[in-house]
Amino acid sequence: HLLCEVARRMSDCIRKSDTLARLGGDEFVIVCADASLEGTAAVARKVIESVSRPFLTDGHQLTVTPSIGIGLFPQDGHDFETLLKHADTAMYRAKESGRNAYQFFAREMN
């Protein structure tokens, strides 16, 4: 139930032209077509703000601390697998910085 609600909130943060998918477990991917650097950061901030609000599930209040990694086309990769790998690397950097954060991929992270 919690993952469905997280997905709903995330879906409310993106445009109809964007894609949201669950990779597995608690990992999601958002593909923002034709988004600027500022637009991508704005989506990340909206997702963090929305998903960080408490969830009420079966009488329990639950909190989620999202960590978002961002890979940009074409500078961070020319194919989905490379972009996903770099976004994953950036996500782990966001987790290390205290969660409830987003991080753009940088070559120095490898």
Marked catalytic residue, from 12, 18, 26, 88: 26
Angle, CA 24 vertex, CA 67 and CA 105 arms, to 5°: 35
Contact between 24 and 36 under an 8 Å Cβ cutoff? The reply is no
Question: One-letter amino acid identity for 14?
Answer: I
Residue 75 DSSP one-character state? T
Annotation says 76 is catalytic: no
List the catalytic residues: 26
